[in-house]
């Protein structure tokens, strides 16, 4: 079972396979691993203690970042992330990032932004559409048309608690849609990143 894996210069934590979305561009639909990770489909969700033990086996100083990002939405395990990050902070100064779909407010039914204070140096939010209708058409969220407005609210709120907030889109979007997404990011006070779409992350 793959709990942590390396891709590029970063170390990633595979917390869960749960996700409220079924995005058309998601790696889960085209493969089962990243780099040489082995399958990222989990037999079960690893306990927070197992994750920390796995991290302690590695030399964290060798990685540029520690990233919560696997085959699911990591914030389903927000309380465990808080515990893991607090313990990592005791043994390492490695920068920590959370890759999220930004839907934790809807997942938990409350304002989750304050929970991110101190547990991460950066939050990267997958945006990928400029209107609720376009987002629903591409990401097929269980939250329907509520999803995108909730993401934008979360981005603005979490900026108060996390030093760096990034919103990302895939480069397959048309130019006018990329520009519309860029404006949404600017309104939220987030950095805007266009990421390369790929069906193969084994390299």
Smallest CA-to-CA distance from 84 within 113, 111, 45, 110 is with 45
Q: Look up the pTM and report it.
A: 0.92
For residues 64-80, average pLDDT: 96
Instruction: Give percent of the chain above pLDDT 70.
Output: 93
Tokens 């209708």 identify what position? 133
Question: 124: Cβ–Cβ under 8 A, 6 or more apart, which residues?
Answer: 97, 98, 99, 100, 166, 167, 168, 193
User: pLDDT (tens digit, 9 = 90+) per residue, 101-111?
Assistant: 999 999 999 99
Q: Which domains does the chain have, with CATH numbers?
A: 4-195 (3.20.20.70)
pLDDT for 29 equals: 60
- Higher-pLDDT residue of 139 and 195 is 139
72's tokens: 């699911």
On the question of pLDDT at 185 being above 70, the answer is yes
For residues 147-174, average pLDDT: 95
pLDDT band at 171 (very low <50, low <70, confident <90, very high): confident
On the question of pLDDT at 167 being above 50, the answer is yes
Q: How many CA atoms lie within 13 A of 56 on its CB side?
A: 12
For residues 122-144, average pLDDT: 95
pLDDT band at 200 (very low <50, low <70, confident <90, very high): very low
Whether the Cβ atoms of residue 95 and residue 61 lie closer than 8 Å to each other:
no
User: pLDDT (tens digit, 9 = 90+) per residue, 38-56?
Assistant: 788 889 999 999 999 999 9
DSSP state of 24: T
Residue 196: φ, ψ to 5°: -75, 130
């Amino acid at each position: 079972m793959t709990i942590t894996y390396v891709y590029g210069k970063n170390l990633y934590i595979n917390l869960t396979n749960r996700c409220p979305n079924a995005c058309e561009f998601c790696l889960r639909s085209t493969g089962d691993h990243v780099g040489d990770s082995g399958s990222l489909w989990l037999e079960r969700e690893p306990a927070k203690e197992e994750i920390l033990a796995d991290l302690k086996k590695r030399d964290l100083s060798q990685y540029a970042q520690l990233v919560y990002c696997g085959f699911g939405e990591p914030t389903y395990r927000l309380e465990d992330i808080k515990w893991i990050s607090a313990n990592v902070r005791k043994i390492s100064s490695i920068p920590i990032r959370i890759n999220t779909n930004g839907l934790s407010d809807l997942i938990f039914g409350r304002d989750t932004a304050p929970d991110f204070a101190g547990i991460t140096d950066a939050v990267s939010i997958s945006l990928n559409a400029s209107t609720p209708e376009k987002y629903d058409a591409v990401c097929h969220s269980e939250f329907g048309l509520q999803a995108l407005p909730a993401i934008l609210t979360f981005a603005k709120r979490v900026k108060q608690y996390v030093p760096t907030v990034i919103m990302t889109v895939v480069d397959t979007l048309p130019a006018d849609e990329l520009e519309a997404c860029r404006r949404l990011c600017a309104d939220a006070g987030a950095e805007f990143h266009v990421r390369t779409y790929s069906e193969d992350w084994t390299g």
